[in-house]
Structure formats: C-alpha cells, structure tokens
C-alpha cells in the first residue's frame, strides 16, 4: 500500500493555476484618443499663417540696413499670434454680406471639429471603466487566493504604468479639444461683433454660450461584478410654502427681470412657491402655468432649502463612471458653439472624475495587499 502512495503528488495551492500572462486589456480603448488628438481642421491656422507672413515682412523691414541683423523669428511668432482667429474671421467677413452669413460660414468650417470632440467625455469614461475593472480583477483574484501577493504586486506595478499611459492619451486629446474649441468660441464672438481685445480669454468667451440644458450628468457607482450601474434616483421635489404678494407681481418665464411676462399674481393671493435655482427668485405655479417671481415682493416665510442628498452606500467593487449627455441641438451657429462648449466642459469633468476614481481603485488594491 505504501508503494502505491509514493507516486501521489500533493495538490497545488489555488493560486498556482494562475500563470497566464497579464496583459493590458485597455490598450484598444486608448487608440481613439490618438485619432481625436491628431484631428487637423483648425481654421485659425490659416489666419496664423497670414499673420506669420506679415510678421516676416515686418521683421525683414526692421532688419534692413542694420550691421548686426537680429532674428526675424520673434516678428513671425508675434504676427502668427495676432493673426490666428482674428485674421480667419476677417477673411470670412470679406466674403460675406452680413454677420449672419459670417457666423454660418464659421459654423460650417467648425462642424467637423465639434463632431470630432463630441464623444470625448464618453471615451474617457470607457477607458477609465476598463482600467478600473482590470484593477479590481487583481484585487478579486488576490482576495480569493487565485494569485499570491508577489504576483499581485507585480501586476500592481504594471497597472500603475498603464494608468500613466492612459492619462497621457487623455491629456493630449482633451488639451487639443480645449484649444480648438477656444478658437471656435472666439471666432463666433468676433463674428457677432465683439472687439478682438474683448475675446482673448476663453473662460470669459465661453460664458456667453453656457447652456445648462446641455450639461451632462456624470456619476459613479460601484458594482462587484463590473456590470453597468443603475442610474441614480431622480431628485426629490423641492419643498414648498405659502407666501403672499404685497402688491400685484409679474409671473415671468425666466428668473430675470427681462423674462417674458406670463401672468400677473394678484395682491395678497396665497401662492405655493419653492426655491428657484436663481438666487432671489421663487418658482411659482399659477393657474397651471409654471414661472418665476421676484422673492422680495412677497410676505411670509421663505420655503426651506432642499434637503442634502443622501450619501451613496459604500460598496466594494468597480468604480464605474456613467456619462448621460442630453441630445444637442446644432441647428443654428449659436447652438452649435454652445454644444462645443458643453462638450468641452463634459470632457474636462469626465477627465477629473475618472482620474480620481482610478486613483481610489488603485488605493483599494494597495490596501488589500498591505
């Protein structure tokens, strides 16, 4: 009997079966960022070329007759910087009969740019979700003893290297998007009649085209199996209270003194109101019609502020980002540039959120290995 047992091999530890090569599962998700980054239709380059040529002429003229001739490069660069968008819009204006035609021509030139960058926020989410899923798979394999700590640490180092590559790919595309959208927004403002010196700051320019209805919802949920998380529940309705207008008050379509007048609220008529997102205004429903009224014109206790959102339950799993973007209307030049601004905002928000969640996912893995 003892002789028969001498050939028996003891069972291997559970993690010994995991010998497959650990590969970058998200490399394919990085490829679209290279294509997006390399998209070349920036119309401002044409204006920069014109400005650069003029700068070259100024530089040559400035150096003529000098014994020690200096470089003309600074003149070329200054001319290109001054040219850029301004020269591009000026060239369009020479070919158009009015401002509306200039705006339509610019919108046509930049339509491809807007479409190229429109999916960037979702691409950022897709790459991040893939990477965080792979990070969690290492944690799951280690906790189930499918791999040992040595293998898990080796994979952690590889994952950290790949995360750097992910960030570089996203950064290149996102920065290029901001640059081209900035040129487009400036061109639109110039076409509408703004002075060049009034259009040099992108943040200032973009405020003219912010549209709250185009802002995406970006949220995070964790799921142990890596499946798509359910969308967040709709926010609870804001609480209401009864107030009384001291005199007749206009009900307006927007929370603004210039908003269209919808109706008049009679003096001392009790009305139900809730806080408006715009400070100093109430949201009112009168005769089945919703509108806004100036809060300072009413007596009575103001409605309570909305309750704070309930904290999301903490679950161990994959931190998955979901981007919900409303459909954008690009039927007019102004709507198209608003869509471009919203798309840029969405990509920057997704970039920051994805990076934060990936770092948190790596922290989970490091904690499990400590």
Q: Tell me: the pLDDT tens digits for 271-305? A: 888 766 566 788 888 888 888 888 889 888 776 66
Dump the DSSP string for 103-145: HHHHHHHHHHHHHHHTTHHHHHHHHHHHHHHHHHHHHHHHHTT
CB neighbours of residue 309 within 10 Å? 10
Q: Tell me: the pLDDT tens digits for 18-66? A: 456 899 999 999 998 888 877 755 544 444 444 444 444 434 444 455 4
Q: What pLDDT does 168 receive?
A: 94
Q: 105-109, 300-304, 348-352 — which one is most confidently predicted on average?
A: 348-352
Strands (E), the chain: 217-223, 241-245, 249-252, 261-265, 271-275, 281-286, 289-294, 298-299, 318-324
| Strand-strand pairing, 261-265 and 249-252 | antiparallel
Closest of 237, 236, 239, 235 to residue 304, by C-alpha: 239
C-alpha pair distances (Å), 18 with each of 24, 70, 198, 285, 333: 16, 67, 62, 64, 57
Q: Which of 73-77, 248-252, 277-281 has the lowest mean pLDDT?
A: 73-77
d(CA 247, CA 270): 12
Residues 343, 160, 144, 16: what is their CA dihedral angle, to the nearest 10 degrees? 140
pLDDT band at 134 (very low <50, low <70, confident <90, very high): very high
d(CA 304, CA 295): 13
pLDDT band at 110 (very low <50, low <70, confident <90, very high): confident
Q: Is the pLDDT of residue 129 over 80?
A: yes
């Amino acid at each position: 009997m003892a002789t028969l047992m001498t050939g028996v091999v003891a069972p291997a530890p559970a993690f010994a079966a995991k010998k497959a090569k650990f590969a970058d599962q998200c490399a394919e998700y990085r490829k679209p960022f290279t294509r997006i980054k390399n998209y070349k239709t920036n119309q401002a380059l044409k204006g920069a070329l014109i400005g650069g040529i003029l700068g070259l002429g100024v530089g040559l003229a400035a150096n003529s007759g000098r014994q020690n001739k200096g470089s003309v490069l600074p003149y070329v660069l200054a001319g290109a910087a001054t040219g850029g968008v301004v020269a591009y819009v000026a060239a369009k204006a020479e070919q158009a009969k009015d401002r509306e035609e200039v705006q339509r021509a610019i919108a046509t030139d930049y339509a491809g740019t807007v479409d190229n960058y429109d999916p960037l926020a979702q691409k950022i989410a897709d790459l991040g979700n893939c990477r965080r899923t792979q990070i969690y798979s290492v944690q799951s394999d280690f906790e189930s003893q499918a791999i040992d700590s040595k293998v898990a640490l080796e994979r952690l180092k590889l994952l950290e290297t790949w995360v750097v590559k992910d960030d570089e790919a996203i950064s290149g595309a996102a920065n290029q998007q901001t640059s081209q959208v900035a040129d487009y927004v400036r061109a639109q403002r110039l076409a509408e009649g703004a002075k060049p010196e009034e259009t040099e700051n992108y943040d200032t320019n973009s405020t003219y085209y912010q549209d709250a209805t185009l802002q995406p919802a970006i949220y995070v949920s964790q799921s142990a199996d890596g499946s798509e998380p359910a969308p967040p529940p709709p926010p609870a309705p804001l609480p209401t209270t009864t107030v009384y207008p001291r005199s007749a008050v206009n009900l307006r379509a927007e929370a603004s003194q210039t908003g269209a007048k919808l109706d008049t609220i009679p003096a001392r008529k009790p009305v139900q109101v809730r806080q408006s997102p715009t400070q100093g205004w109430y949201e009112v429903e009168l005769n089945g019609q919703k509108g806004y009224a100036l809060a300072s014109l009413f007596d009575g206790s103001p409605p309570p502020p909305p309750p704070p959102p309930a904290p999301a339950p903490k679950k161990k799993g994959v931190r998955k980002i979901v981007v919900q973007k409303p459909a954008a209307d690009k039927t007019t030049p102004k709507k198209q540039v608003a869509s471009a601004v919203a798309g840029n905002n969405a990509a920057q928000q997704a970039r920051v959120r994805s990076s934060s969640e990936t770092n948190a996912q790596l922290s989970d893995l490091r904690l499990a290995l400590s």
